[in-house]
A and B are shown apart, each in its own frame.
Chain A
Amino acid sequence: MTDAEFVRAYEIAGADFTNAGRASTGIKETLKNMGLPSALIRRVAIAAYEAEMNTVMYARRGTMTLRVTPEDVTIDVRDEGPGIPDITLAMQEGYSTATPEMREMGFGAGMGLPNIRRNTDELVITSEVNRGTALMMTVHVS
């Protein structure tokens, strides 16, 4: 923890497809206002958006916490939901447990977690079945 750390938390409601993406949009705006490079902001925004959609689609509720230091942008997503029984399987491109309703929203292609990994420098996933999932995503500033 340093004086230079910026922290902001966002609540995410499960199954609220109307507002899904608002937290990630807020994060993107915040990073823009900080004057960070646009390519970095885009990577963070895409990772955050995929994680937010996963929370909306699968969990009852969740929180997304943005932390910015001179070195890193970190997003910590914690949800209360079904958890991921097999994280290795979930990381495979194309693997999905999405429902038709989720696909009608344009998600559930089985690209969410792989896309998060692609856009982050560090990704730590922990999950407990019937409890929830936590994602710690880090993008290095320099």
Chain B
Amino acid sequence: MSDTGEADVKAQAGALSLADVRAAVNGVALWCPDDSPAVSGIVAADLMSDVLVDARPGYVLVTGLVNVQVIRTAAIADLAAVVFARGKTVPADVVDLARQMNVPVFASHDKLFEAAGRLYALLGGGPAGPGRRRQA
């Protein structure tokens, strides 16, 4: 594992909600008390340090990694939600921690590349290509 694809795209302000993200990836809400909040962008990665570099507050993380560190990373980085890709089983302790830390979580059967591609298109990202790698 650890193959990291990143599609870091900024959403049009207020144009996209968690409900739109869930619908785009045919996702199931594992925990999401409110799917109306706006999403400011998408980051797709399996390495959490890359997420900490690339994500901005309000981004949705799409990942193939399924463990509690994904939730802690999302909470530390002020992310809007996590989409677990590849149809992997998400353990109960991960969902419990998401609830505790107020991080909405979804599951999708899409591969990471597919989910990222659909969201890139949804954001009006144009032809597929590498996202802008941010310099902090």
Contacts and interface: CB of A to CB of B under 8 A. Distances in A.
B50 interface: yes
A28 B65 CA distance: 24
Interface size class of B (residues with CB under 8 A): 20 to 34
Contacts of A104: 1-2
A107 B75 contact: no
Nearest to B48: A106
A42 B69 contact: no
Interface in B117-136: 136
B17 interface: no
A49 B68 CA distance: 14
Interface size class of A (residues with CB under 8 A): 20 to 34
Contacts of A73: none
A20 interface: yes
Interface string A112-135: 100100110000000000000000
A123 B105 CA distance: 34
